[in-house]
């Protein structure tokens, strides 16, 4: 497996920390298809569909993305999702994200897709899968970015969402489907717990990796549920683990990766201010941490910006940033050869700022 350098990757030489971050090969493990839609793309779709309640000017859209809390974020997310009405729209979003990541020296992404969101818009699963397959090929050919997919259940939609997501994953999976996830408002999951457990049992039996969100907004209990009953191999977010010392010890011992998304947690009100984010403490506890963007245009961030936050706000040096990049590779679903190729490229980037 080979990876092409990002479109605008700078040459390695004497580098500022910004240039180092730009040059660092990156893997994104936690980013959502709808949440990755760029502002211009959302505006184009909202003008195409004036019956929606999504604003049609950039100023109004950025204000629309001012989230009061997670339920408000989920409401806005659903409104944007309602703009995506055809398989061609789905493919456009995937290739748009691929271009954005390639410009950040991204090499590989595990993109979370919510089949139920397309199902309720009336898209046949076969056509959605064909669009995802086409977009993955275009992303590789045009941008040198390898795309893999995770299908996730939107938890607040319950049993029907679990059924539709599993059905799509087993009957009409895209070629690059690697994982099965669970997202949405954590407080609404317990009433559908058995359906989620059954869906994950069937998905993992079919060879998919268990990659649920947990511990973002409702304490450590959803993390235990994900580990004990969903067979989680990674945890999306997971920041609430710090409220349970026994859980921290378990995560440290098992090396279960956490997909941490600092700017997202601030924007959805899970953390009051970026300087108060528990990211440094997660590292101090010796946990396996990766850095991710979640829904970048909605949160006015990028994967590179998250690395800059790690450097400028959390005080990480080049060596620590390299460690985060390596963690993302090692936590990914890439095959061993693909991991080895990317790790070698990351390790080839000098961490000494004085290195010519």
pLDDT band at residue 17 under the 50/70/90 scheme: very high
Q: Does 129 score more than 90 pLDDT?
A: yes
pLDDT by residue (tens digit) across 50-85?
888 899 999 999 899 988 888 888 888 889 888 998
Tell whether the model's pLDDT for residue 198 goes beyond 80: yes
Assign 352 a pLDDT band (cuts: 50, 70, 90): confident
Which residues are registered as beta bridge partners of 148?
110
Q: Which residues are catalytic?
A: 216
Q: CA torsion angle for 277, 65, 72, 87 (degrees, to 10)?
A: -110
pLDDT on residue 21? 97
Q: What domains can be seen in the chain, in order of their start residue?
A: 17-347 (3.20.20.140)
Instruction: Please name the residues in contact with 170: beta carbons below 8 A apart, sequence gap of 6 or more.
Output: 202, 203, 206
The CA distance from 44 to 56, in Å, is 8
Place of tokens 């950025």: 62
| CB crowding 162-174: b at 16 or more within 10 Å, else e | bebbbebbbebbb
Q: Which of 282, 279, 277, 304 is nearest to 293 (CA)?
A: 304
The neighbour count for residue 64, using CB atoms within 10 Å, is 18
Sequence-distant (≥ 6) Cβ neighbours of residue 156 within 8 angstroms = 74, 184, 185, 188
Least confident of 61-70, 159-168, 172-181, 211-220: 61-70
Tokens of 109: 């992404």
Please report, rounded to a whole number, the percentage of residues in the chain having pLDDT higher than 70. Answer: 95
**Digit-coded pLDDT (tens) for 92-122:** 999 999 999 999 999 999 999 999 999 999 9
Q: Nearest to residue 311, comparing CAs of 297, 331, 325?
A: 325
Predicted confidence at residue 7, as pLDDT, reads 40
- Between the alpha carbon of residue 343 and those of residues 10, 25, 252, 264, the distances in Å are 18, 9, 22, 27
What pLDDT, on a 0 to 100 scale, did the predictor assign at position 354?
Answer: 62
Q: What is the pLDDT, as a whole number, of residue 39? A: 87
Sign of CA dihedral 204, 161, 155, 225: negative
């Amino acid at each position: 497996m080979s990876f092409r350098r990002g479109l605008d990757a700078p040459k390695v030489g004497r580098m500022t920390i910004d240039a180092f971050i730009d040059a660092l090969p990156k893997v994104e493990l936690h980013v959502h298809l709808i949440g990755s839609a760029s502002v211009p793309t959302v505006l184009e779709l909202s003008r195409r569909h004036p019956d929606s309640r999504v604003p049609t000017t950039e100023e109004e859209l950025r204000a629309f993305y001012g989230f009061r809390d997670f339920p408000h974020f989920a409401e806005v997310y659903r409104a944007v999702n309602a703009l995506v009405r055809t398989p061609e729209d789905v493919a456009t979003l995937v290739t748009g994200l691929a271009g954005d990541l390639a410009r950040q020296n991204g090499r590989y992404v595990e993109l979370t897709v919510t089949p139920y969101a397309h199902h309720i818009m009336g898209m046949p699963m076969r056509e959605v899968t064909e669009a995802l397959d086409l977009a993955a090929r275009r992303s590789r050919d045009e941008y040198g970015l390898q795309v893999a997919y995770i299908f996730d259940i939107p938890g607040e939609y319950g049993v029907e969402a679990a059924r539709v997501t599993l059905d799509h994953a087993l009957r009409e999976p895209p070629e690059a489907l690697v994982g099965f996830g669970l997202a949405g408002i954590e407080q609404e999951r317990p009433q559908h717990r058995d359906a989620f457990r059954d869906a994950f049992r069937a998905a993992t039996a079919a060879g998919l990796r268990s990659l649920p969100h947990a511990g973002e907004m409702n304490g450590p209990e959803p993390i235990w549920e994900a580990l004990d009953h969903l067979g989680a191999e990674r945890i999306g977010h997971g920041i609430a683990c710090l409220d349970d010392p026994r859980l921290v010890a378990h995560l440290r011992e098992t090396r279960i990766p956490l997909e941490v998304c600092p700017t997202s947690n601030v924007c959805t009100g899970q953390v009051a201010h970026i300087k108060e984010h528990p990211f440094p403490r997660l590292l101090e506890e010796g946990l396996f941490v990766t850095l991710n963007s979640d829904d970048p245009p909605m949160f006015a961030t990028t994967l590179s910006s998250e690395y800059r936050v790690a450097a400028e706000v959390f005080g990480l040096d080049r060596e620590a940033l390299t460690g985060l990049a390596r963690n993302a590779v090692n936590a990914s679903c890439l095959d061993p050869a693909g991991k080895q190729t990317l790790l070698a490229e990351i390790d080839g980037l000098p961490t000494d700022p004085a290195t010519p």
